[in-house]
Chains A and B, each alone.
Chain A
Amino acid sequence: MTPANIVGMAVVNGLELIALTDHNSCKNCPAFLTVAEAYGMTALPGMELTTSEEVHVLCLFPGLDSAMAWDEYVYQHLIPVPNNEEIFGKQQIYNEDDEIIGTVPNLLINATDISFDSVYDLVGSYNGIMIPAHLDKSTTSLLSNLGFIPPGSRFTCAEIKDMTKFHEIKKQNPYLDNCRIISDSDAHYLEHIRTPLYTLEVNSKDPDDILQALTTKP
């Protein structure tokens, strides 16, 4: 996957809204947004953060500046372990022409020292929104790792991998009655990028309106 072919695939598949959420990094977002703009595709920069509890949380931002500032913060808080390319693969940064322009030295699949409870305010201070990822997954989800939604949580959007679990998860976690629940490709390979399945009603395609829609209970 490269930023360019991700956008290309999304266009071919007829998607109308895409976000790039690499693990603990926004470093491919500049290329991603450049290509998206060229195609007229609405795109958001983001990241899939790994908290200190190894919970995955999607972070979406209204623009590149806030995303890259967040990226810098997160990298400083990533528990530093050098990547081992043979075992974990390469961590490459691309430009919009599919040229490799850099490599990230520290292992991005590792956890940060950012606790789940601190994410809401932290991401908010970078103008972003937080979306606990794949709640229904048996590992690296808020529910699998903490067992429940922590009291005092304030997020209002959450992601489920398998929408057939929607009612079951809501029933077990009444907190989610106040959330918008989304599901998406969560594509780690090009062929997993979906064709349109779900819709989001927005006031406009402006990123702020999209983030607003995502964090407003339907």
Chain B
Amino acid sequence: MKVSDLINSGLFELVNEGSNTDRDISKLFCCDMLSIAMSRAPSACAWVTVMGNINTLAVASLSDAACIVLAEGVRLDDPATAKAASQGITVFRTDMPIFEAALLIHDKL
């Protein structure tokens, strides 16, 4: 599944479209600690998390995640939203819990 497919599915609210929506999502990754994610998040993953910190975006860049899905109604604050836009990172949000959100994506992979 491509990032653009996830956008078009309407499953989650789109926070920032990102600059590389043609890329594939090949894996799911669920983790809320940046210190773990930065060395474990697989490239091309959809990263589902409740860590809505500005550094989530940096870690997503570092690990070459395909997109971020913020769960449990978590929001990026204004500086983080601006950073997502400037870095071209695709970010979604949902009120769903992490597992349910990840499962929805997994069923489409």
Within 8 A of A (CB), among B59-106: 61-62, 77
Asked if B11 lies at the interface with its beta carbon under 8 angstroms from chain A, I say: no
Q: Let me know if B33 and A111 touch, CB within 8 A.
A: yes
A81 interface residue (CB < 8 Å to B): yes
Residue from the list B39, B52, B55, B77 in contact with A81, Cβ < 8 A:
B39
Contacts of B53 in A (CB 8 A): 139-140
Instruction: Determine if A87 and B51 form an interchain contact, defined as CB atoms under 8 angstroms apart.
Output: no
Interface SS, B side: helix
Q: Interface residues of A, CB < 8 Å — how many?
A: 15
Q: Contact residue range for chain B?
A: 10 to 19
Q: Which residues of A contact B34 (CB under 8 A)?
A: 54, 110-111
Instruction: Given the known inter-chain contacts A139-B51, A139-B52, A140-B53, please indicate yes or no for A79 contacting B35, CB distance below 8 A.
Output: yes
Q: Are A87 and B52 in contact (CB under 8 A)?
A: no
Q: Decide if B38 touches A81 in the complex (CB within 8 Å).
A: yes
Contacts of B52 in A (CB 8 A): 138-139
- Within the assembled complex, what's the spacing in Å between the Cα atoms of A79 and B35? 8
Binding site for A on B (CB under 8 A): 33-35, 38-39, 51-53, 55, 58, 61-62, 77
Point out residues on A near B: beta carbons under 8 Å: 50, 52, 54, 79, 81, 84, 87-88, 107, 109-111, 138-140
